[in-house]
Amino acid sequence: MTMNIATAIKFQHVIDPEDCARCGSCEMECERGAISHDERNYVVDPAKCETCLKCLAVCSTGSIDCWLPVQPGNEFSLAEQLAWDALPQQPAHAADAAVQKTFSSAAAVIADAVLHAAPISAAPPQVNLFSAHAPAVATVVESWRPTSGNDIRHIVLDFGDQVFPVLEGQTIGILTPGGDADGRPHAMRAYSVASARDGEHAGGNTVALTVKRIVENYAGEPVRGVCSNYLCDMGVGERVQVVGPYGQSFLAPNAPGTKILMICTGTGIAPMRGMIERRCRHPVNEGDDLFLFYGARSPADMPYYDDLIKLPPRRLDLNLAFSRLPSRTREYVQDLLLRRAALVMDLLRDEQCYIYLCGVRGMEAAVMQACAEICGMYDTDWSALETQLRAQRRLHIETY
């Protein structure tokens, strides 16, 4: 349903097609089945949406936090939303001062719901500084493979004299030139920042990305990812249009005494790499504060494997799972968590520890189940603890 703001005006929940990363997180999070998509757009069914706001917390770009004024009974249909390349022009009544004032109060509640997930000590993020209509332009200064197996590229973008501030855990959007078969511009694609806030190399105005070249879908069918192939094919010196930055919740704590438990697979390492880089350069503790549980098919398929294993154990407690090693039983991140149940339980209970999960959606369920099993070993109710973790801003999940 829509959000009632005034007798003659409602604010309909929609998704901004220009900022949407098409990751599917909102659709998977919506328990009412109000969010769906076609090959182009994600849309919200006004007849099913109950304005629970759960989808706001999982959206990396903020495109889900969009509310258009409509007259009751005259909401935008799914067919209309699916046809959008941009949001429709605001109707005249949207400028009404009384309506705007009322909606501003409602928007503040919505914003608080999103920001509530960020740690209290996290640095304030800046978002939506550049749009598709006025993007930043960055130059590729590095492009190399952090694996010897999967075709993954570590790409460093230099923004020159443009102000493009990002924090670890935020995302940026890439605009691919050209259009689809129907002549419509390619949709923006969002990528997690894989570098610290002070750049790939301390002091530079750069941002790193970890990009996997998409050549097939999850079913194994041939599919050529438009943006991933565009980025992976770019050479040093080429220029790319960037929008954002995005993200207000998947942010790391800054306070001394805080710890970070990171759980990820594949290119889900990107935001974790940024957090690790930040604390290695600017430690808030003497050590024993970073814990990484990381999974891939093999060391050859694991981005940054060589760099991670070189870090001293006191700087990074590293736990690696490989699912396709010859003559070895398949192992996943949830297996590592169970193996170190005592440590994980201590970290879950430690109110100074913040937990971050990033990777494919299927991993999330497996990790949550492992946490439930670990809690069962120590006579702890996982459901109650998970609720407490979210209320304390300690649990952060970004899956796709």
Give the separation between CA 97 and CA 105, rounded to whole angstroms: 13
The domains found in the chain, sorted by start residue, are 3-115 (3.30.70.20), 136-246 (2.40.30.10), 259-399 (3.40.50.80)
Residue-wise pLDDT tens for the chain (400 aa)?
Answer: 444 444 456 788 999 988 888 888 888 889 899 999 988 899 999 999 988 888 887 787 888 888 888 888 889 999 999 999 889 886 555 545 555 555 555 555 555 555 457 999 999 999 999 999 999 999 999 999 999 888 999 999 999 999 999 999 999 999 999 998 888 899 999 999 999 999 999 888 999 999 999 988 777 788 889 999 999 999 999 999 999 999 999 999 999 999 999 999 999 999 999 999 999 999 999 889 999 999 999 999 999 999 999 999 999 999 999 999 988 899 999 999 999 999 999 999 999 999 999 998 889 999 999 999 999 999 999 999 999 999 999 999 998 8
CA dihedral sign, ordered 263, 269, 275, 279: positive
Cα 49 off chain centre by: 23
Strand partners, 65: none
Question: In Å, how far are 158, 206, 208 from 201, measured between CA atoms?
Answer: 11, 8, 10
Question: What is the per-residue pLDDT for 331?
Answer: 96
Contact 15, 187 (CB under 8 A): no
Question: What is the per-residue pLDDT for 19?
Answer: 86
